[in-house]
Amino acid sequence: MQHDMQVRTFAKAIYDEVYPSEEWDSFTFEEGERYGTVHYRQAVGAAQKAKSLVLNSETQISFLKVI
């Protein structure tokens, strides 16, 4: 999967926090990315949602500043 660098950075941070050791997932983030593991896909989904929420809140704040 190809993602913009901001989403990838968010996804890696989420992945590393949620799956901190081999006990949770035997793949590193980079291996999960290469193989498209379910843990990787979940982290990417969370990152995309987080980015969307950040962009929406920034848009709302910008709109309120205009008013």
CA–CA separation, 47 and 33 (whole Å): 14
pTM of the model: 0.76
How confident is the model over 5-35, as pLDDT tens digits?
A: 999 999 999 999 999 887 877 899 999 999 9
Mean pLDDT score of the chain: 85
Q: Which two tokens stand for residue 50?
A: 């987080």
> Rounded distance, CA 52 to CA 48, Å?
6
- The answer to whether 44 and 3 have CB atoms below 8 angstroms apart is yes
